[in-house]
Amino acid sequence: MIKTQIFIFIILVIIILATCVYYFIFNIYEVTYSVRPKHLVADSQSTLSICTIPINALGIQVPFRYAPANFQIVEGRNLIIVIERNNRKGKLILRAKGKSGIVLVQVNSDYSLFPSTITILLK
């Protein structure tokens, strides 16, 4: 009788822990955007990457998951060249064409309510 109760208790604890781990660590609650470097130099060699970072309930990056996003260049399309656009992983890499100006990129992630606009300054 005692062994059965201990076994049931251990199974319940494992189920509760697995549920908590799923909801607090592996579930995406928010998406932040990483822009590296902060601005582009107006030459033909500098690159800039925009990445989506999924955030969990603990406020850290979700392990083993990506935040898919759609990238749309709203303004300054003639100032940059798109090197890589990976919507599934939420990554965009841009290269300057050699002209200065401002580029606006609108990012709409599957996990965000509204699209975000990222301003890139080409100096």
| Domain boundaries defined on the chain | 2-122
- Give the per-residue pLDDT at 40: 86
CATH of domain 2-122: 2.60.40.10
pLDDT in tens, the chain (123 residues): 788 899 999 999 999 999 999 999 999 999 999 999 988 888 888 899 999 999 999 999 999 999 999 999 999 899 899 999 999 999 999 999 888 899 999 999 988 889 999 999 988
Contacts of 35 (CB under 8 A, 6+ apart): 48, 49, 50, 118, 120
Sign (positive or negative) of CA dihedral 81, 115, 53, 33: positive
Q: What are phi and psi of 51, to 5 degrees?
A: -125, 145
- Give the per-residue pLDDT at 108: 93
Closest CA to 50 of 87, 77, 79, 90: 90
- Give the per-residue pLDDT at 17: 95
Yes or no: say if 88 and 56 are a contact pair by the CB < 8 Å rule.
no
Closest CA to 92 of 77, 102, 101, 81: 81
- Give the per-residue pLDDT at 3: 85
- Give the per-residue pLDDT at 110: 85
